[in-house]
Structure 1
Amino acid sequence: MKLILASTSSYRAEQLKRLGLNFETRDPQVDEALFKQAGFTPETLAEVLALEKAKQVAGQNPEAIVIGGDQLVSFENTILGKPGSEQAAIDQLMSMQGKSHTLITAIAVTGPEFIETHINQTTLTMRQLDKDAIKRYVQFDQPLDCAGAYKLESQGITLFEEIQSTDHSAITGIPLIALTTLLIKAGVTLP
């Protein structure tokens, strides 16, 4: 059975390799801005985007199992995405220092006669840091393409005093425990 990751994220591809499965990657070409304007809650937005990405690729590959994903940060009633620039990353991290936020990671698995989603929520509490420490971190890790402006798999771990999650792999982009369950339900044989 053909397995496709509907994502151009190198982080998600690296994670999926951990499961020992052969897969292809495809760009889902979903205009996320349209969905962000719809007024969804953060959890619903992440889930809708993950599902839309999977459906987009599945439409061109109806016999394949397709995995879509999305990740965002919910902080003080605001959705934070990828900062895109060093200054935006510094600003995001400065606003979150000493406070907690929720990292929402959603996945969707589609296949012939199969559609299921999963949402993982991780609560992260940042240390109280000064601007120079945050600037040094951003210059080191360059987390410009990461929701929340940090890479926990790298030096970003030093920014936090507490992390609460049922699946730490979700922090990088795919909750692998939940994904494994969904793939088995969809009929994928794991190595």
Structure 2
Amino acid sequence: MKKQLILASTSKYRQELLSRLAVPFSAQPPLIDEDKEKDPTLAPRALAEHLARLKAASLKGEGKVVIGGDQLVSFEGRIIGKAHTREKAIEQLLSMQGKTHELVTAICVFDGEKAIPYTDITRMHMKAMSREQIERYVDLDMPTDCAGSYKIEKHGIMLFSKIESQDFTAIQGLPLIELGKILETCSPL
């Protein structure tokens, strides 16, 4: 019997990424209230891992391989989330310009009842920029729905002087190199 592959996400970005692995899957919203599950006592990495696990666990079951993911920006010990407005996106980018932050991308794959977690930490070195440059960027990409207020897969690449990563796709929301390895162990897919 073939296992059903489920992406526990409504993110169009994660769906586009997973389609690159050329495996059939369905995307379903996780059955958790993410806002209620955000534990402010957890460190950024622990929080991303916690949420990824909860998302995947909410849809797990026999005959299913479920992928849950969470991504956040860790900057100077605090979490930078989605801006939701143009003004907040500009303020977030202004606070991070000229500095380095970490992009934490956590996934958890449930193969039936077995959990397989993985976390990618990417160090993002942002260029020093003026408010005008940042406003111009925000108007180009409108990155209000992205953690850290940038879309690296679009014009956001121009914000950075250096990116240290094991897997560039992790920056976009799913570390496909490691996920591909994990899915190979979950056969028969």
Q: Same fold (TM over 0.5)?
A: yes
**What is the CA distance between 1:168 and its match in structure 2?**
0.6
1:47-58 alignment to 2 at 5 Å? 47-58=49-60
Q: 1:16 is matched with which residue?
A: 18
Quick check: 2:39–2:47 contact (8 Å CA) kept in 1?
A: no
Q: Compare 120-129 and 34-43 and name the one that shifted more.
A: 34-43
1:32-51 alignment to 2 at 5 Å? 32-51=34-53
Take 2:139 and 2:26, find their aligned partners in 1: how far apart are those partners?
Answer: 32
Take 2:12 and 2:50, find their aligned partners in 1: how far apart are those partners?
Answer: 21
Given the alignment of the two structures, is residue 129 of structure 1 paired with residue 93 of structure 2, yes or no?
no
Q: 2:6 is matched with which residue?
A: 4
Q: 2:170 is matched with which residue?
A: 170
Q: Match of 1:90, as an amino acid?
A: I
Take 2:188 and 2:51, find their aligned partners in 1: how far apart are those partners?
Answer: 23
Q: 1:184 is matched with which residue?
A: 184
Q: Compare 22-31 and 4-13 and name the one that shifted more.
A: 22-31
Q: 2:30 is matched with which residue?
A: 28
Q: 1:116 is matched with which residue?
A: 116
Given the alignment of the two structures, is residue 105 of structure 1 paired with residue 105 of structure 2, yes or no?
yes
Take 1:45 and 1:81, find their aligned partners in 2: how far apart are those partners?
Answer: 12
Q: Match of 2:137, as an amino acid?
A: Y
Q: Which runs of 5 or more structure 1 residues have no equivalent in the other structure?
A: none
Take 1:81 and 1:93, find their aligned partners in 2: how far apart are those partners?
Answer: 12
> What secondary structure does 1:57 align onto?
coil
Take 1:167 and 1:115, find their aligned partners in 2: how far apart are those partners?
Answer: 21
Take 2:32 and 2:133, find their aligned partners in 1: how far apart are those partners?
Answer: 36
Q: What's the TM-score, normalizing by structure 1?
A: 0.94
Quick check: 2:62–2:113 contact (8 Å CA) kept in 1?
A: no
**What is the CA distance between 1:185 and its match in structure 2?**
1.8
Quick check: 1:114–1:186 contact (8 Å CA) kept in 2?
A: no
1:131-170 alignment to 2 at 5 Å? 131-170=131-170
**What is the CA distance between 1:4 and its match in structure 2?**
0.5
Identity of matched residues, %: 46
**What is the CA distance between 1:187 and its match in structure 2?**
1.9
The CA RMSD measured in Å over matched residues stands at 1.2
Take 1:160 and 1:29, find their aligned partners in 2: how far apart are those partners?
Answer: 36
Q: Which runs of 5 or more structure 2 residues have no equivalent in the other structure?
A: none
Quick check: 2:38–2:51 contact (8 Å CA) kept in 1?
A: no
> What secondary structure does 1:144 align onto?
coil
Q: What's the TM-score, normalizing by structure 2?
A: 0.95
